[in-house]
Amino acid sequence: MSLDTLPRATRNNHRRVRPPGRRWASRFDVKGMPYALVSPYFILFAAFGLFPLAFTLYYSLYDYDLAGTTEWIGLGNYTALLGDDDFWRAVINTVGMFLLATVPQMLLALFLANALNKRFRFRLAIRMSVLLPLVTSVVAVAVVFTQLFARDWGLVNWILGWFGVDPFNWRAERIPSWIAIATMVDWRWTGYNAIIFLAGMQTIPRDLYEAAAIDGASRRRQFWQITLPMLRPTLIFVVLNSTIGGLTLFSEPTTFYNGNVDGGSQGQFQTVAMFIVKEGFREFDYGYAAAAAWLLFLLILIGAAINFLFVRRIGGTK
Amino acid sequence: MTNWSPTVFTRVMLGLAVFLSAFPLYWMVVIASRTNSDAVSVPPPFLPGGNLGENIIAVLNNEDAKFLLGLTNSFIVAATVTVSVVIISTLAGFSFANLQFKGRNALLVLVLLTMAVPLQQMGVVPLYRLMVSLEWTGTLKAVILPYLLNGFGVFLMTQYTRQAVPMELVEAARVDGAATLRIWWNVVLPAVRPGMAVLGINTFMLMWNDFMWPLIVLTPDNPTVQIAITSLNARFSTNYTLIFAGTALSIIPLVAVFIAFGRQIVGGLMEGAVKA
């Protein structure tokens, strides 16, 4: 025992008389090291986050042309965008596809989560399989769905034919193209959102349901009056997440048109993100693209605010 | 407690959900293993054919598609970014969760704010110009650098470390004379390994799937796998079997990750989610 404690005692002793250099090192270790550990994130964020954001603002105030000359035009890009029919079409497409994808997705995910929350065999296997879509590549999925939604030999038109529905030209018309793209988005994200909802549902105390059952509340009533209101924080998280994802949609509609950012022959499914890429990297109008990026951010803020207010009302305060 | 056993309707719905989740992937294999005339026949084929190996070899050997290069590039990009994000996030997460310093809460709020900005869309123009002036366009550096950090990762690891590493443990190590970095290495890292795994898988998937930025900053002759699919799609738009063999190849790493870590992915998502 005494032999065991001896080295430590000497070490402590040694620490008291250590040279000034080591004292500085240990002071830094306590005071400075926490900052050193968080600094890689902030340094990289400054370089690849803050710098681009600031420069996007700066670029948006200039007119760039193909010849490489630049001219300060103040808010000129913004006013031009607000009068640009192509931009508004992209905004409407984005919002349209967002609504078409998100509303059914949230409902489906809620009901799926409710079903996954029951007791049954192979529970883990089933939870894993609804996550399978998330684990596949977006572009691969979009390629598969593009084929499923093909006009002449697509599976979807073939099945619709059983019910006497005429084949849709999914890529040529506006609303059908939105539906096709919204389907891809939903396929990918419904299971993911269901798992997140499930995580929230599992924290709701079970005796609440038991008390409600004794009071004679039906299962459906329990879902609307217990599950949903108790789920509000999760709901806010999921809805905000989907809002950012939905309004920045790019991969699915681009792949739906062979990797082209025009979004169809008449831009019928061009989103704002695609509009930015087209203006910036095909028309080389950096200022215009940068201004569109800020308007997209504004759109996301508006969307997030509306959703937040909407979700907050769900279930109400008792 | 009858409430917790599913009704027949619920069972049918779950079955349908599983079917719909798996079907497009099954369909991918069906077309990838067929001939092109099968792929465009009505009614479509529903069972896999015998041409899968042949089609995959055709994709890999196609000089225009550069598919093998795409797979290699994607792997390099995803692996590099994953290592960087995991290291940066565990360091920062440890600091935020277990160390005391002035401005800690303010800095953490700053990280949360950075998560809310869609940087990929917002910063795309200046980032591109930066890569042009560095003459890095067309190289993997240009794809990798903007992704070396991830606010979500820092947030996730802060939450995880808080729950996995009690303060007493850190203080005990300090009393024993361990320096901060040593505590991180010897005490914190072993404890947060499950969190690191979830963040790593997540980051790898995200990077493997990245499409918009590589599309802008790379050229088709040095693609990532997603860009390679897109050029397959554009160049051989009538050759479905080739395109589908390529897409099937492109998801193999993700499916492998899923088979190996599926349980952890489900668990990690449920753990990391915002609870009611």
Examine residue B14 and state whether it is found in any structural domain, yes or no: no
Q: How far is CA A281 from the centre of its chain?
A: 24
CA end-to-end span of chain B: 22
The average pLDDT across A26-51 equals: 89
Contacts of B1 in chain A (CB under 8 A): 210
More confident residue, A302 or B113: A302
User: pLDDT value at position A26?
Assistant: 80
User: pLDDT value at position A313?
Assistant: 78
User: pLDDT value at position A137?
Assistant: 85
Is residue B24 a contact partner of residue A144, using CB atoms and an 8 Å limit? yes
Residue A10 pLDDT greater than 50, yes or no: no
Distance CA B131, CA A203 (A): 47
More confident residue, A40 or A121: A40
Is residue A142 a contact partner of residue A258, using CB atoms and an 8 Å limit? no
Residue A144 pLDDT greater than 50, yes or no: yes
Residues 24-53 of A with CB under 8 A from B: 26, 29-31, 33-35, 37-38, 40-42, 44-45, 48-49, 51-53
User: pLDDT value at position A1?
Assistant: 39
Distance CA B256, CA A137 (A): 13
User: pLDDT value at position B1?
Assistant: 39
Confidence of residue A316 (pLDDT cuts 50, 70, 90): low
Q: Which domain holds residue B54?
A: 45-275
Across the interface, whether the CB atoms of B99 and A293 are under 8 A apart is answered: no
Does B207 touch chain A if contact means CB atoms closer than 8 Å?
Answer: no
The structure's pTM equals: 0.88
- CATH code where residue B248 lies: 1.10.3720.10
Q: Which residue has the tokens 């902030």?
A: A42
Using CA atoms, how far residue A202 sits from A192, A206, B181, B268, in Å, is: 16, 9, 37, 14
Distance CA B25, CA B38 (A): 18
Strands A62-64 and A70-72: antiparallel
Is residue B48 a contact partner of residue B31, using CB atoms and an 8 Å limit? no
Distance CA B95, CA B98 (A): 6
Examine residue B9 and state whether it is found in any structural domain, yes or no: no
Examine residue B84 and state whether it is found in any structural domain, yes or no: yes
DSSP A56-96: HHHHTTEEE-TTS-EEE-TTHHHHHHHT-HHHHHHHHHHHH
Q: Using CB atoms, pick whichever of B40, B121, B251 lies closest to residue A137.
A: B251
User: pLDDT value at position A167?
Assistant: 86
Examine residue B26 and state whether it is found in any structural domain, yes or no: no
Contacts of A296 in chain B (CB under 8 A): 118, 121-122
Peptide bond into B43 cis (omega under 30): yes
Q: How far is CA A189 from the centre of its chain?
A: 10
Half-sphere exposure of A104 (CA within 13 A, CB side): 13
Q: pLDDT digits over A68-121, tens only?
A: 778 888 899 999 999 999 999 999 999 999 999 999 999 999 989 988 988 888
User: pLDDT value at position A41?
Assistant: 93
Q: pLDDT digits over A202-249, tens only?
A: 888 888 888 988 988 888 888 888 888 888 888 888 888 899 899 999
**Residue stretches of chain B with pLDDT short of 50:** 1-2, 276
Examine residue B40 and state whether it is found in any structural domain, yes or no: no
Distance CA B117, CA B113 (A): 7
User: pLDDT value at position A17?
Assistant: 53
Chain B residue with the nearest C-alpha to that of A236: B274
The mean pLDDT value of chain A amounts to 86
| Closest among B274, B51, B123, B52 to A195, alpha carbons compared | B274
User: pLDDT value at position B108?
Assistant: 93
CA end-to-end span of chain A: 64
More confident residue, B247 or A25: B247
What is the SS3 assignment for A148-184? HCCCCCCHHHHHHHHCCCCCCCCCCCHHHHHHHHHHH
User: pLDDT value at position A5?
Assistant: 44
Q: Using CB atoms, pick whichever of B4, B118, B255 lies closest to residue A119.
A: B4
Share of chain A above pLDDT 90, in %: 39
Does B29 touch chain A if contact means CB atoms closer than 8 Å?
Answer: no
Examine residue B30 and state whether it is found in any structural domain, yes or no: no
Contacts of B212 in chain A (CB under 8 A): 250-251, 254, 273, 277
Share of chain A above pLDDT 70, in %: 92
The total number of structural domains that make up chain B: 1
Examine residue B248 and state whether it is found in any structural domain, yes or no: yes
Across the interface, whether the CB atoms of B179 and A29 are under 8 A apart is answered: yes
Does A180 touch chain B if contact means CB atoms closer than 8 Å?
Answer: no
Examine residue B106 and state whether it is found in any structural domain, yes or no: yes
Angle at which helices B240-272 and B67-98 pack, to 10 degrees?
A: 10
User: pLDDT value at position A35?
Assistant: 93
The average pLDDT across A4-8 equals: 46
Using CA atoms, how far residue B258 sits from A4, A135, B104, B221, in Å, is: 49, 7, 36, 30
Q: How far is B66 from chain A (nearest CA, A)?
A: 16
A vs B, Cβ pairs < 8 A, gives 317
Q: What share of chain A is helix, strand, coil (3-state, %, to 5)?
A: 75, 0, 25
Confidence of residue A19 (pLDDT cuts 50, 70, 90): low
3-state secondary structure of B73: helix
